[in-house]
Chains A and B, each alone.
Chain A
Amino acid sequence: MTLRQGMIVCAMVCAGAVACGKKTPPVARPAPPPPSAPATPARPPAPPEPINEPTIVPPEPVRDDAISSASLDDLNKNSPLKPVFFELDSSDLGPTGQKVLDENAALLKRFGTWTVTIEGHCDERGTAEYNLALGERRAIAARAYLVSLGIPADRLRTVSYGKEFPFDPGHDEKAYEKNRRAHFVITAK
């Protein structure tokens, strides 16, 4: 097909050249049949020979280099995996939590060797005992969502610390909000 179209185009160009060469007055001629598709060149013009060698593009962005080279401790202190926050007495993710997990899932896909522990945490307004289970439910909710996005389940462990390890030791709503979370810890990379 391409070859045939090319031949037609070539023939038209030759005919024109012959007509001009004879310098005969222009005469009405039937228009050539329109091409069935926009005329495509037979092949793109050969690119000019490069003068410089192409720049080598790093395989991963610079930011990823920082992540790749960071120690686990450093990674976890300023983790690229963001925590998910919850409402009081709830383990529902909500749209905000899902958005955070979407981003975490993208990172986990990019760094396919990472294994992660998802820690469930609670604020101090639940009892110490019930909070152990509630924290686990929060971690499980985050894990299930990541698995639904294609992250292999065996890369995601869960653990609940109830209200044993508050991120903010305060006793007000501001502190409580920070303490109701599923927190991500990279355990291997």
Chain B
Amino acid sequence: MTKGLLTGTIALALLGAGPRAQQPPQPPPSQQPAPPPQQPTEIETTISGEAGAPPRLAVPDFIALSSDAETVAVAKTIGQVLWDDLNFEREFAFIPRDVYTTIPKATSFADVPFDRWRELNADGLIVGAVQKTATGFHVEMRLYNVRTRQAVYPRQYDGAANARLYAHTMSDEIHKSQRALIGVARSKLTFDSDRDGERMNNSVQNRNIKEIYIADYDGENQRRVTVGRTLNITPRWSPDARSIAYTSYRRGGANIFISNIFVGTLEEVTKGDKVGENWLPAWSPDGTKVAFTSTRDGNPEIYVANRDGSGVRRLTNHPGIDISPTWSPSGTQIAFTSDRSGSPQIYIMAIDGTGLSKKTSESYCDKPTWSPAPFNEIGYASRNGPGYDIKVLDLATGHIRQLTFGEGTNESPAFAPNGRHVAFMSTRSGKSQIFTIASDGKDLKQITRTGNNEKPDWSK
């Protein structure tokens, strides 16, 4: 990614056949077609921030081209969510929102007050307009070079009235085109939660069940996706974000299930009387296999099976506990937790079980999460005395970076699909809640607030 440069193209879009953007909100983002190729560039525009600083952007509320309440609300939401989405990755500096009220609002692309934005040192300005259509909304967005007043990145979108998805799509496209960054604005989180207060069937004592939930990366649109009336925990997104594998006790013991959440079907990866307990599924990067921990041979060991449960292979063979498998981004290695040294520590092995290598030597480490390229890092929870903190190990240098510092206990880290953030569980606000934090330890953000929410995973 080219830092400090805002490189864009004037897409000489054929306005009539302008890019039909993603179709929000259902089917899910993963089904959305790839963005149409941009037209060949005829003019290249380069904007740089001052003295190599990141470009300073302003993202005022979008213009509502009609005055009905729905259009006004959609226009306002898109602008605000887009601001949040772009701010999340810290690729741009931002003119503070509270200043926007002092700038006259544009009513169309024709009366944008460029001079006023220039006075505030804006390098780039995003102007958008929202128009109601028969089926939803038509949204036009232009990223301007404030000095030249050129629209360096104009886009148009049509779809249903899902304001947030327009903003998320724009953010991902702006990050990709301007910063060569795979954004995460359309990614989703999954986690387990007892928020509904339901009780386990045939319960011996008063037991809160847990179900699997999903949410947008920013915590919006939290929805439940399982109805097991039992304990459903440790969800993991499939690489195509169409399915969630998780641990369910619906058969009595713990087994690995897959919910195809946009189809409504259920698959069983581990089934039968002879499979022992099975926990903590982890998808291979190509989505064809699932690694998990099983006691089918009498002791917790790591296994890999095909998605349909066939072809089970055992990878570890040690009387200690081996648990918490996670795949390397290339799918050639698995990181996991083993207490074979006397306490739980992080290990790496090849997918055939060879080449074992111990990676941590601390008091107690668990739940490795392997970052995507270009990073080569493993995040994990490390015991700090009374609780745990999230740490990140750089595999190339051996350097360990600490992201949390003893505020409550902090467990179950999961990298964002671009490796720039980590989702985790923390008790810092009382109950167990999901948080995200930048992988340098900045920008902590609370995602859940109701009930106990644990063991997050971030879609690819």
Contact = CB atoms under 8 A, between A and B. Distances in A.
Contact of B366 (A129, A140, A161, A183): A129
B204 A129 contact: no
Contacts of A77: 204-205
Contacts of B254: 132, 159-160
B280 A132 contact: yes
B122 interface: no
A129 B367 contact: yes
A92 B144 CA distance: 68
A76 B207 CA distance: 14
Given A127-B366, A127-B367, A137 B300 contact: yes
A128 B252 contact: no
B253 A130 contact: no
Contacts of B366: 127, 129-130
Interface residues of B, number: 40
Nearest to A120: B277
A171 to B, nearest CB: 9
Given A136-B295, A160-B254, A129 B280 contact: yes
B436 interface: no
Interface residues of A, number: 28
B381 interface: yes
Most buried by B among A128, A136, A161: A128
Interface string B197-210: 00000101101001
A128 B412 contact: yes
Contact of B455 (A125, A128, A158): A128
A129 B337 contact: yes
Interface in A123-156: 124-130, 132-134, 136-137, 140
B15 to A, nearest CB: 53
Given A127-B412, A130-B344, A185-B204, A164 B231 contact: yes
B204 A127 contact: no
Contacts of A183: 204
Interface in B364-384: 364, 366-367, 381
A127 B388 contact: yes
Contacts of A124: 409
Given A137-B300, A160-B277, A164-B210, A130 B454 contact: no
Contacts of A89: 343
Given A127-B381, A128-B455, A133-B300, A140 B205 contact: no
B205 A130 contact: no
A130 B323 contact: yes
Contacts of B323: 129-130, 132-133
A167 to B, nearest CB: 7
5 contacts: A127-B366, A130-B321, A136-B277, A159-B249, A161-B249
Given A128-B455, A158-B253, A160-B277, 8 more contacts: A127-B388, A128-B425, A130-B321, A130-B339, A132-B277, A132-B293, A137-B300, A160-B254
7 A-B pairs closest in CB distance = A133-B300, A127-B366, A133-B321, A129-B324, A133-B323, A76-B204, A130-B366
